[in-house]
Amino acid sequence: MVDRPDQATGVLGYLHIEGVGGRSARDMRQLLEAFEDAYDAVARVELAAKRLAEGQEWLRRWGPPPRYWPGNTLFTGHIEVSGPADPLIVTRVVLHSPGFWEFLGSLNPLEVLRRYLNDRHERRKDRDYRSAAERERLAIENALASLDVVQRIAQLEREYGPEIHRSEAWRQGWIGEVRPDLQRLADFDERGMINGGSARAGPEPPEPRQLPPGADV
């Protein structure tokens, strides 16, 4: 068990997902990289959305800024943002069939990963959607919609009209930003290394469960 890091800057949480052992070291390394890359991508989108929301609040209060004002990057579609302040940490692993992976990091990106993996896992069974691309787009859009800041931007749109912040263009940009990393993570669900439908996220780790004989922690 790994303690919460003292230097954490945001609201921390846990992501718990079933997985299996007995795979190659390369597969395990690629799985961990996929989790980290997807987590980082969502964190970048969340920060970009926060800056967008701040920009729209500015526009509501003060109107358009001067053309060459340094803060104008808040109002364009080309915001350069860094990764999350809180790194993704592996807190518990059970290498058994089935076992589980448990991660600690910023709660909001972890919740997006949980929602995406759950939703995509379920949509694989649903033949009502026109194409795999449509299922993927909906899974990503629904997952990102769980971010408080994205809901805040949607509220601005309802109050002041879509022309205020061109939210549809931003949403499509965000989907494009996270799609490759989320899809790479979902590939491990399709390969059976993780069970996307089992993903859970929250501010506290799940209660310890009875481990099967011979499980390694």
Contact criterion met (CB below 8 Å) for 178 and 43: no
Q: Which of 48, 146, 46 is nearest to 86 (CA)?
A: 46
C-alpha distances out from residue 155 to 5, 164, 165, 171, Å: 34, 11, 11, 14
pLDDT tens per residue across span 13-70: 999 999 998 899 999 999 999 999 999 999 988 888 787 777 666 556 555 555 544 4
Residues 60, 66: Cα–Cα separation, whole Å: 15
Q: Which of 149, 148, 165, 169 is nearest to 157 (CA)?
A: 165
Q: Long-range contacts made by residues 28-34, C-beta under 8 angstroms, separation at least 24?
A: 31/188, 31/193, 31/194, 32/90, 34/181, 34/184, 34/185, 34/187, 34/188
Q: Which of 13, 51, 11, 17 is nearest to 193 (CA)?
A: 17
Whether 156 has a pLDDT exceeding 70, the answer reads no
Tokens 């990764």 correspond to 83
Rounded to 5°, the CA angle 200-101-116 comes to: 40
Residues 72, 50: Cα–Cα separation, whole Å: 15
Lowest mean pLDDT among 41-45, 80-84, 188-192: 80-84
Tokens 């989907």 correspond to 175
pLDDT tens per residue across span 103-125: 999 999 999 999 999 998 887 76
Instruction: For 95-133, give the secondary structure using H, E and C.
Output: CCCCEEEEEEEEHHHHHHHHHHHHHHHHHCCCCCCCCHH
- Check residue 194 and report its DSSP letter: B
Pick the most confident of 5-9, 127-131, 159-163, 173-177.
173-177
